[in-house]
Structure 1
């Protein structure tokens, strides 16, 4: 089957596991403290406005981010709560989990969206303040925008680099690599064996890491066309333009994915792939097994929701 005719699946690395999402559901699988595997499912039940917005160019990216933040945080919460708990203790903690389930779902969803907004504001405004300090040396509009973009890139790379030294985050980056390898194996039409998966690249054109980098590049391009007369005006512009930058960056990401098989144009996605050298690490075989199990479980559940009896489930 050609790659272009295959369903498009995405994923996310979590603590000691991987989450994969299809059209109808998202499934994560983690390795527990005793070495066993456990899966967790969150069905896609997005509000109507998100479903409609995901069909509109330049808006669909923002809707997708909101949905991914909510669903992804639920899976992260599951993995961080369960991976280091001895399965023998599951029964004793189950009543408490059940009593707080509704609050947990609502809380995680709210925190996910608010955390994304806060982090985006910090990532946008801090480089703006720093670049403004260099106005006496680099006073021009173009120079200031380029300087701001440079500081954003330094902040991004430095933050990821420092995080990579944390043992837990390093493992997450390994699972991130395993996630990409599984997707690449599936898109190549190969059986999902550890050997086949490990032979694939840990980089992928549709990765969220690439998206983050594109927000820096696209932001510089958009800001060049919008002059400002003061620091306050510059700050307000940056805040107002956050949705625009996100929407355009998502379309750029999709474009580079469509062009990745064209020799002359595939280099457009290379900056994002380069960043993935930091955000992904080579997984070991046991981590790859977890990723394969998660993907296969997602495929199984996806198929169950496309049968005539469950065709209305979205």
Structure 2
């Protein structure tokens, strides 16, 4: 057992692989059809202004979310490319890439689309339950807090149905397995364990700092925040939800950090339970091969980070 590490890392499952974000580089490792592992490495470009914003509570969460959506889209696109190449062959994939005009501009476009997709998805997930709750219960009673609670319940039901539905497809099921592999590697590293397949497999596929936990916290935090504001019509309620969305995201991020800090304290550790329960849907137990890919990605990321900053 090595000394307890202090670095905090995050990652993301991609198609047949895992991406890890280091201090200086993002690395994706993908298992190819021939069982070889290929890497996609993207150095981080220092953004002094953004780094300053990341130190400000409530604002840092929004910045981090936007950054994650942009970077994640690039790495997910790379994994999709590799998967398509394995399925159709390198020559056919090259032709498709040439036809599509794939270049740096398109990669940047993918990042922008990733951010927009997140924002649009979050708006839809926020507003559709608002409309539904208003249609079903709008004239049943006047208690605004109860309306907010029912709106939250509808959001959670929508989320669970959506996650269950997509998890039935083979590709998404494997994606969720790689998600579990990502969590296991981070947990093993944070515990100071050796990063071997056998050692990593002993750890839980659930992790307090997961984005899945963040999603459920946005629902719960939203119920509380919305209760401080009154509305008199559906239009006013919808506008209020849109305006308060950045506030909900920022506060939810801080709650996620808080629950992660308290996870080793008896009783208080249960504050993170809702996020862990949701991860029972968004993660699956990975195979040894999938854990090996996750370890390869993490080790490569750490290696490149040390090359930039050996200390």
| CA shift in 2, pair 1:34/1:129, >3 Å | same
TM-score, normalised relative to structure 1: 0.93
1:119 is aligned to: 121
Matched, 1:214 2:203: no
1:174 to 174, 177, 195: 177
Give a deviation string over 1:12-56, Cα, whole Å, max 9, x none: 000000000111111000011211110001111254432221111
2:285 to 282, 285, 291: 282
The residue matched to 2:90 in structure 1 has which SS?
Answer: helix
Match of 1:242 in 2: 245
Distance 1:299 1:287 in 2: 19
Distance 2:86 2:205 in 1: 31
> Using a 3 Å threshold, how does the CA distance of structure 1 residues 46 and 99 change in structure 2: closer, same or farther?
farther
The within-5 A match list for 1:226-237 is 226-237=229-240
CA RMSD of aligned residues (A): 2.0
Indicate if the aligned counterparts of 2:176 and 2:282 stay in contact, CA closer than 8 A: yes
Question: Is 1:49 equivalent to 2:49 in the alignment?
Answer: yes
Change (3 A) 1:59 1:97: farther
Q: Secondary structure at the match of 1:83?
A: helix
**5+ unaligned residues in a row in structure 2: which ranges?**
none
Q: What is the Cα deviation at residue 138 of structure 1?
A: 3.6
Q: Secondary structure of the equivalent of 1:85?
A: helix
CA–CA separation in structure 2 for the residues paired with 1:294 and 1:19: 7
- What whole-Å deviation, never above 9, does each CA across 1:32-82 have from its counterpart, x for those lacking one? 121111000111125443222111100000000111111110000000011
Contact 1:33–1:84 (Cα < 8 Å) also in 2: no
Asked whether the 8 Å contact 1:206–1:257 carries over to 2, the reply is yes
Structure 1 residues 49 and 251: CA distance shift in structure 2, 3 A? same
| Bigger shift: residues 117-126 or 96-105 | 96-105
Note the alpha carbon deviations across 1:104-123, whole angstroms, 9 max, x for none.
Answer: 22211110111011001100
Q: TM-score, normalised by structure 2?
A: 0.94
* Stretches of structure 1 lacking an aligned partner (at least 5 in a row): 309-314
Mapped to 1, the partners of 2:272 and 2:77 lie a distance apart of 31
Aligned equivalents of 2:129, 2:92: Cα separation in 1: 49
Number of residues of Structure 1 aligned to a counterpart in Structure 2: 307
Name the CA shift for 1:189/1:98 in 2 (closer, same or farther; >3 Å). Answer: farther
The alignment status of 1:195 with 2:212, answered yes or no, reads no
